[in-house]
Structure 1
Amino acid sequence: MRFSASVGRLALGLTTVAALTAATSFEAVAAVAPSPEAAASAQAAKTGKAVAVPSLTDETSTTVANPDGSFTATITSGPSNVRMPDGTWKAADPTLEAQGAVLKPRVSEVDVEVSAGGEGPLAKLVDAGGRVFAPRWPTPLPKPSVKGNVATFANAAGQGADLVVTVLPTGFRYDVVLREKPAGPLELRIPVDTQGVDLRAAADGGLELRSADGKVAAAAAQPLMYDSSGRGKPRGGAVSKVTGTVETQNGTKVLVLKPDASYLADPARAYPVTVSPAITLPGVVTDTDVATSWASHPGDAMIIAGTMPWENGEGGDIMRSLVKFDTRKITGKRVILAGLGMWNLETNACGIAVGSGLTAERVTSPWDETDLNWDNKPTTTRQGASTTRIGRGRTWTEPCASGAGYLAWPVTDIAKAWAGGAPNYGIQLRGADETEKTNWRAFAASENTDAGVKPPTLTVVYWR
């Protein structure tokens, strides 16, 4: 009995030791197993080539390990990647394609659809909170012509007046494009279906979508229209504000737009003229611009910085661009180098030294793109600022020989400030000398989905 008990206790002890040994061995193996970052870094050192680190990919950035042990994060101002159901990432692709009875973007992080013609919403967006924004048209829509991310409903707003829906990485924009001068005064009535938000006219002439608790879910300055006179000017050409009101008709909110008849009838007007309500649930807006004579219009495909004279030569606009990047992944890291890249579409002149150039500087206070004007623009600091004088893209009359492309600013000290814990309110671009009469550049915003165009990009090289 004693022998059997002793044997039993010995067997139990050996089993326990074996289990502890196995557990210890497993923990030891787990402890020494390299992290995805370390594994990528080791492979990069071995091959002498940069290696992607999928674990560091997110909606706005990708990261690679460099052969020297550093890492490079490429961060875009808006969403550029979409997580798929299987956990992998794909590049966002707003190209519209038929899905059932509607059109949808190929790869999108938001739930957006566009009419394929007939009854129903012109377009519909459901945001992450389940809120719905869906403008309709009072009559059935024709089948649209589709090019990339743009659906055009010819003559849907009357003869020579098209409805145009542009799908963006975070939602959509819709415009009325007047290809010819209207025969008389114009009034556009656009029914808007909503859930979780209510469409209202703001006291300043703008538009708001307010949630049930009274908070503003989305907003826009007063609607605009602009003609096609000259390139490189704010919103494309001569600008006019549009009177916008909100009525209730049979229980449905109706956006009523009344463009200025004298503006449309002006013999100098260059058609087509675009009427832009500029109200949707835009998701996170990460770049915009503001000027001395106009407020921010979130969702625009182009943002402008510098100084630009008016057509009559009696004055001009001072313009500033603001752009944000999600830099949480570099917090606490040792930043080696950082650069800002903005895709220059248009410029007042081409060359390596156009005027005083544009200065990039760190923003030091919050800003709200839905309520941003010259009087409440954010503060900045000159610490870490840098200036670029190059002009690319095209002028009012002809393309630059080098064509559109990135303009670059070294912003290492700005990135170091963010990595060290300074609040990140983004970067401002402004004319280096804002007293100049002419010195401006127009850049692609994150919402610009034209072929070959690149979004605002921040590149940061750092040590772990």
Structure 2
Amino acid sequence: MLLGEAQRKIETYDIIPDIGELPEKKPKTKMELTNKRTRNSTRFINPDGSFTEEIYNQPIFYQDISDKKWKRIDNTLKKSPLAPDKFINTANEFKSIFAEESDISKLVSVQKQGYNFDMLLVGARKVKSVINNDQIIYPDILPQVDLSYVVTNDKIKESLILKAPTGQSQYSFELKIPANLSASLLANGNITISSQFGDLLWILEKPRMIDSNGIYSDNANFNIRKEGNRTFIDISLDTSYLNNPSRSYPVTIDPSLQSTLLIRDTFISNRYPQSSYSSSMYMHTGMTPSYGVTRSLIRFALPPLPSNSRITTATFQAYQTNTGVSNTTVDLYRLNSSWGDAVTWDTQPSAAATAESSLAPNTSNAFWVWYITKLTQDWYNGVQSNYGLMLKNRDESTAPWASFTTKENTASYVPKISITYEVDPIGLEDFWHRTEDGINPSNGNLILTEADFDVPGRGIPLTVERTYNSRNTVEKGVFGYGWSSNFDARLIYGVSGPVVYIDNDGTRHFFGESVDGGYIAQSGIYLNLSRQLDGTLSLLLQIKRQRLPLIIKDAFNRFQI
């Protein structure tokens, strides 16, 4: 059992190793390899020569277009250098621009990937905003209504705050979008904003209502309305909820503008079996006063690991806040089917029958940490599709519930996976050293290669090439243990999650998941991987902007080009 996380300053340092991940000299302290960052992960080299990948359940970094370096996201709102009457978020892949003073003609603009659109609250009064770090509030923008925006790492949280009953059950925003963008209302109640090429840029999440006592209702809905060439988004609210004598004001109406799809966390409730809570700042397990029995679901986008990585330890951590928790055991399960942001109790994914890990620390305002080494190994080796994991109270009837912060909360307390691994250089990669005798001095692996024959032809030539790795004693190729050949090259993958490519010389290359979908190769691996409509994968070798097909076998032993 592991509880909490050591709070110490981590030294940041651009250090060799670069591509091959074999350090010439081990560091004295844990060091961050800043050139190995992705949007939601970073890499550390440890004093023993191993590496640790820290994977967050929200984007932590953005790529600066000026120098292509990954830098930490900063959501602080500051005065725009181009428009002194506007505020702008400091550093992220998208720009959110807010008017210092609201009126019917200006409020909020969003820019991403060269596209932009504006949103205006219909009937907005001219009021001066109040800035608090990453939040901007327009007080009394409508009678008895405040409007709040909070910029997070991957979304803009919009909240209409009804301070008292207003007698109004509908609020409207004008959506000003150019001709190269379109808005669509989905069956699940979300609104999508896409480019003319079909690229999904943003999701307006179905609104919900919650009062000051935490009593929740999802009886709030979007509608897209057209008036000539103008587009409006109407939010319709359930009057029986608003006018209930037991309702405790203020009531917050919370539709959020989200950009990231693959990363998600939420909880499900048996009291509201058809409600989803993907925009909640907390997720729960066990019997709660407001939601009945609850369970939490989390899915990470898993980044690429260096070639021939061997995972030794992996943990999952989440920040628990309920001060009344005691004698509560929370079990962690691997999930065996897919789910999305709109998941509910009635549509919850299937989970393994046996818990992967269990924890009962009885602490609050602290990280709870579960070991998930076997699950993580299975994700990266293609044994288990990455559907994420479930947290569930062992006693769902009488034990106190637990509450964990989600990716909607501050970045300091978001869920995280830490993977520690070693790199064992087996194969003929250019970034690994070997002597003239074919020995890799870092691990003593003896490498021998043979080309048995080569029959040219009009199309692809018929060749037989084989490689012997003395340390590769686990896998048996067509020529026996230790031998790999072009007939053994293959992809190993599940329905979702990382993909393993075992090449002709026995090297295992790990493709990770992009937070926006698709696959990412480790730096120095010039391969492009994409999933086809029929579920098979296409692997292309990229050489000087050319993409050449590779003949490989997939996990079902089918040859693919």
- Cα separation, 1, equivalents of 2:392 and 2:258: 31
Unpaired runs of 5+ in structure 2? 1-14, 424-561
After superposition, the Cα gap between the structure-2 partners of 1:246 and 1:110, relative to the gap in structure 1 and judged at 3 Å, is same
After superposition, the Cα gap between the structure-2 partners of 1:218 and 1:360, relative to the gap in structure 1 and judged at 3 Å, is farther
1:436 aligned counterpart, secondary structure:
coil
Residue aligning to 2:128: 143
2:321 aligned counterpart, secondary structure:
strand
1:414 aligned counterpart, secondary structure:
helix
Q: Tell me which amino acid in the other structure corresponds to 1:63.
A: R
| Higher helix proportion | 1
After superposition, the Cα gap between the structure-2 partners of 1:112 and 1:186, relative to the gap in structure 1 and judged at 3 Å, is same
Residue aligning to 2:151: 167
- Cα separation, 1, equivalents of 2:164 and 2:321: 27
1:52 pairs with 2:32: yes
Paired residue for 1:343, among 303, 316, 319?
Answer: 319
- Cα separation, 2, equivalents of 1:436 and 1:330: 45
Residue aligning to 1:421: 382
After superposition, the Cα gap between the structure-2 partners of 1:155 and 1:350, relative to the gap in structure 1 and judged at 3 Å, is same
- Cα separation, 1, equivalents of 2:163 and 2:16: 61
List aligned pairs for 1:243-258, cutoff 5 A.
243-258=221-236
Paired residue for 1:322, among 295, 298, 314?
Answer: 298
Q: Deviations over 1:318-364 (max 9, x none)?
A: 333223132322674211111111122336x234x32xx32222233
For the 8 Å contact 1:77–1:457, the answer to whether it is kept is yes
For the 8 Å contact 1:59–1:82, the answer to whether it is kept is yes
1:421 aligned counterpart, secondary structure:
coil
Paired residue for 2:358, among 387, 412, 419?
Answer: 387
Aligned alpha-carbon RMSD (Å): 3.0
For the 8 Å contact 2:57–2:416, the answer to whether it is kept is yes
After superposition, the Cα gap between the structure-2 partners of 1:346 and 1:109, relative to the gap in structure 1 and judged at 3 Å, is farther
For the 8 Å contact 1:350–1:390, the answer to whether it is kept is no
Q: Deviations over 1:36-70 (max 9, x none)?
A: 3778844435xx32232233222222212112121
Q: Deviations over 1:52-91 (max 9, x none)?
A: 2233222222212112121111111111122332344432
1:418 aligned counterpart, secondary structure:
helix
TM-score by length of 2: 0.64
1:417 aligned counterpart, secondary structure:
helix
1:303 pairs with 2:278: no
After superposition, the Cα gap between the structure-2 partners of 1:432 and 1:438, relative to the gap in structure 1 and judged at 3 Å, is closer
- Cα separation, 1, equivalents of 2:49 and 2:369: 25
1:109 pairs with 2:93: yes
Q: Tell me which amino acid in the other structure corresponds to 1:90.
A: K
When structure 1 is superposed on structure 2, of 215-224 and 130-139 the one drifting more is 215-224
1:123 pairs with 2:105: no
Shift of 1:310: 4.3
RCO comparison, higher one (Cα < 8 Å, 6+): 1
When structure 1 is superposed on structure 2, of 143-152 and 240-249 the one drifting more is 240-249
| Higher strand proportion | 2
For the 8 Å contact 1:446–1:455, the answer to whether it is kept is yes
Residue aligning to 2:391: 430
List aligned pairs for 1:399-410, cutoff 5 A.
404-410=365-371
Paired residue for 2:401, among 437, 440, 446?
Answer: 440
Determine what percentage of the aligned residue pairs are the same residue. 18
Residue aligning to 2:246: 268
Shift of 1:277: 2.6
For the 8 Å contact 2:351–2:390, the answer to whether it is kept is no
Residue aligning to 1:68: 48
Residue aligning to 1:284: 261
- Cα separation, 1, equivalents of 2:86 and 2:117: 16
After superposition, the Cα gap between the structure-2 partners of 1:90 and 1:243, relative to the gap in structure 1 and judged at 3 Å, is closer
- Cα separation, 2, equivalents of 1:428 and 1:360: 7
- Cα separation, 2, equivalents of 1:214 and 1:37: 35
After superposition, the Cα gap between the structure-2 partners of 1:372 and 1:39, relative to the gap in structure 1 and judged at 3 Å, is closer
After superposition, the Cα gap between the structure-2 partners of 1:206 and 1:53, relative to the gap in structure 1 and judged at 3 Å, is closer
Unpaired runs of 5+ in structure 1? 1-32, 230-235, 394-403
For the 8 Å contact 1:325–1:426, the answer to whether it is kept is no
Q: Tell me which amino acid in the other structure corresponds to 1:448.
A: N
TM-score by length of 1: 0.76
When structure 1 is superposed on structure 2, of 238-247 and 197-206 the one drifting more is 197-206
Residue aligning to 1:399: none
Shift of 1:238: 3.7
Q: Deviations over 1:200-242 (max 9, x none)?
A: 444455544465577876556642111011xxxxxx3343522
For the 8 Å contact 2:137–2:146, the answer to whether it is kept is yes
Shift of 1:243: 3.9
Residue aligning to 1:30: none
- Cα separation, 1, equivalents of 2:399 and 2:263: 27
1:156 aligned counterpart, secondary structure:
strand
1:154 aligned counterpart, secondary structure:
strand
Q: Tell me which amino acid in the other structure corresponds to 1:421.
A: G
1:191 aligned counterpart, secondary structure:
strand
For the 8 Å contact 2:94–2:111, the answer to whether it is kept is yes
For the 8 Å contact 1:40–1:65, the answer to whether it is kept is no
For the 8 Å contact 2:101–2:126, the answer to whether it is kept is yes
Residue aligning to 2:528: none
1:225 pairs with 2:209: yes
Residue aligning to 1:152: 137
- Cα separation, 2, equivalents of 1:380 and 1:331: 30
- Cα separation, 1, equivalents of 2:106 and 2:279: 20
After superposition, the Cα gap between the structure-2 partners of 1:185 and 1:82, relative to the gap in structure 1 and judged at 3 Å, is closer
- Cα separation, 2, equivalents of 1:89 and 1:214: 27
